[in-house]
Amino acid sequence: MIKLLKIIPAKQKSKKWTAYFKVDNKEKAVSFGQAGAKDYTLMNDKTSKFYEPDKKKREKVKEAYRKRHAKDNLTDPLSPGALSYFILWSSPSFGGSIRNFKKRFSV
């Protein structure tokens, strides 16, 4: 059984976030997202330096990312690829993306 415990800013300089899971009564940390890079949640956040006011441009960038990463390991909720794909590049808001991720993987 896998349970998502929390997602916090990564301590690793090259990563954005670290997700903490409980897997068979053990805690597992998985860092994901390229630090300093834009993602779909940031492109929709008006306070972000990556904000893109044009919805069509946001969608075009999102689709390009999802196409490039479609062959990543997207079936394992503990993979950095799945975390990035479904949390950073699925929903306009970070919170909404986390809810979708938890629902998709039943975590």
What would the pLDDT profile of 72-91 be if each residue is shown by its tens digit?
999 999 999 999 999 999 99
DSSP 107: -
Within a domain: 20: no
Q: Is residue 90 part of a domain?
A: yes
Q: Is residue 4 part of a domain?
A: no
Residue 77 lies in a domain: yes
Average pLDDT over residues 53-67: 98
16 assigned to some structural domain: no
What's the domain count of the chain? 1
Domain range for residue 71?
32-105
pTM of the model: 0.94
User: Taking the chain, what is the end-to-end CA distance rounded to the nearest angstrom?
Assistant: 8
Task: Examine residue 3 and state whether it is found in any structural domain, yes or no.
Answer: no
Q: Alpha carbon of 42 to those of 78, 89, 91, 97, 103: distances in Å?
A: 22, 10, 10, 12, 22
